[in-house]
Amino acid sequence: MRPVLPLLLLIGACAAEPPPGAALPGGGDGGTFVADYGGGTAPVARYVRLPDGRAVPVEAPPRAAAPAPTPGADGKPAGGGDAVAEAPAPRPRSGRATSTGSAFAVTANGLAVTNAHVVQGCASVVDEQGRPVRVVAADRRRDLALIDTGRGFGSVVRFRPQAAVDLGETVLVFGFPYGQALGTGINVTNGIVTGLAGPGGDVSRFQMNAAVQPGNSGGPAVDDAGLLLGVAVGRLNDLAVLRATGSLPQGVNFAIRATEVERFLAEQNVRPARGPQGGTGARAVSATVAPAVFQVLCRA
């Protein structure tokens, strides 16, 4: 049986592994063990992604009461699917920030995108300056959330005219790794697209070697013209892979494809801007993309 490799979502702590010698659910001929975290030390979802793309649930913590959905413009709850074995992680009722992530504006009037796991189970969500952020809609299956900052942006992250991802193309990732431990400034890393699918052949993701760390969750991954390729979502857990295979993974990081983001936004009747707005290359792209990216903090 092939090794079972845990995947750690960026906001999480150490990923829990199956007991030694445990068989995979459903008879398991291999696959990728995934532990999704929502900011605490307990996983919010655990499952095995099989090579054929199926997700087989494994044990999960007890489901907590879900918050009431936010009404859309028509008064109906705004969309969102459920992740497999979804269950919110308990959070201390202290009012303090319990996790951080990244987000980016997609409209000039303040609508932005982040990961659903960044804002899941929060009593409130604020930006890095303590300004309140409203969760408009969350899709846990895609791990995407639409948030409203209530303020204007002079720059937004724009989408490609045709949302395709090519093997080997340049990718730049913007975000706030390790929360505010490295300071309050934005961070950018670069690399290339190294694979056209995520764990277990999941075609809603792609693989890249641009560095991502805890806190990068929800940040944009853009091309060399500053157009959206995807949303940073996860990386392999180095120590868990070392234990499973005897070697350390190098630059194995994942992003949710821009096509998934577009479908999610269309369900919320949001149309993002398309086409380039500045020059090419890391310096020019940073000048146009960085002002659209901000930090989000989840408060219990």
* Predicted confidence band of residue 242 (pLDDT cuts 50, 70, 90): confident
The helix (run of H) or strand (run of E) holding residue 296 is strand 293-299
Q: Per the domain annotation, does 99 fall within a domain?
A: yes
**Out of 67-76, 122-131, 212-221, least confident range:** 67-76
Measured from the Cβ of residue 60, the count of other Cβ atoms closer than 10 Å reads 17
Burial of 20 (0-12, 13-18, 19+ CB in 10 A): exposed
Mode of pairing for the β-strands spanning 124-127 and 293-299: antiparallel
Q: Per the domain annotation, does 298 fall within a domain?
A: yes
Q: Per the domain annotation, does 137 fall within a domain?
A: yes
Q: Per the domain annotation, does 70 fall within a domain?
A: no
Burial of 275 (0-12, 13-18, 19+ CB in 10 A): exposed
Q: Per the domain annotation, does 47 fall within a domain?
A: no
Predicted local confidence at residue 2, as pLDDT: 44
Residue 95 belongs to what domain range?
Answer: 90-300
Q: With a cut of 70, say whether residue 106 has pLDDT above it.
A: yes
Residues 296-300, mean pLDDT to the nearest whole number: 87
Question: For residues 64 and 149, which has the higher predicted lDDT (pLDDT)?
Answer: 149
Q: Per the domain annotation, does 123 fall within a domain?
A: yes
The helix (run of H) or strand (run of E) holding residue 298 is strand 293-299
Q: Per the domain annotation, does 26 fall within a domain?
A: no
Domain total in the chain: 1
| pLDDT more than 70, % of the chain | 66
Q: Per the domain annotation, does 79 fall within a domain?
A: no
Report pLDDT digits (tens) over 178-237.
876 666 689 999 999 999 998 888 899 999 999 888 889 999 999 999 999 999 998 877
Report pLDDT digits (tens) over 160-170.
998 789 999 99
Give the CATH number of the domain where residue 195 resides.
Answer: 2.40.10.120
